[in-house]
């Protein structure tokens, strides 16, 4: 695997990212992969040296982050993954449910961290 720096941040990431939009609750997204279905992909990513994993709060209405969080615990160590997640799209109708206001950012990062089962993300 080749690695590079993320901009000028000094953060070292794999040149290939694991996009995690396709993981989550299959009842919400029939084309998605649940934990068992995603297992070979996570295993191959770890074995190939892919360290940059990307998800978002909206993917599967949060269920992608849940699958990714469980996969980190099962297949690797949190310190060995550069974890990215995103926000903006509507998660609920309340004032912190979408957008980039301070309220939304704070509410959505807390929810993402809970779903991911970690206390930090590397890129938001």
Q: Does 3-116 carry CATH code 3.40.50.300?
A: no
User: Which of these is catalytic: 3, 59, 120, 124?
Assistant: 59
Short-list 92, 7, 13, CA closest to 53: 13
pLDDT at 28 exceeding the cut of 90 = no
59 is an active site residue: yes
Percent of the chain with pLDDT over 90: 97
At residue 55, what are phi and psi to the nearest 5 degrees? -140, -170
Q: Residue 99's CB: how many other CB atoms inside 10 A?
A: 14
At 22, is the pLDDT very low, low, confident or very high (cuts 50, 70, 90)? Answer: very high
């Amino acid at each position: 695997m080749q690695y590079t720096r993320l901009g000028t941040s000094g953060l070292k990431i794999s040149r290939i990212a694991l996009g995690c939009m396709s993981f989550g609750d299959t009842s919400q997204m029939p084309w998605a992969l649940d934990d068992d279905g995603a297992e070979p992909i996570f295993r191959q990513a770890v074995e190939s040296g892919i360290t940059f994993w990307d998800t978002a709060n909206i993917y599967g209405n949060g269920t992608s982050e849940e699958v990714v969080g469980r996969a980190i615990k099962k297949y690797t160590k949190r310190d060995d993954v550069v974890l990215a997640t995103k926000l903006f799209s509507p998660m609920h109708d309340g004032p912190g449910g979408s957008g980039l206001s301070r309220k939304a950012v704070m509410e959505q990062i807390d929810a993402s961290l809970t779903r991911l089962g970690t206390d930090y993300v590397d890129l938001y």
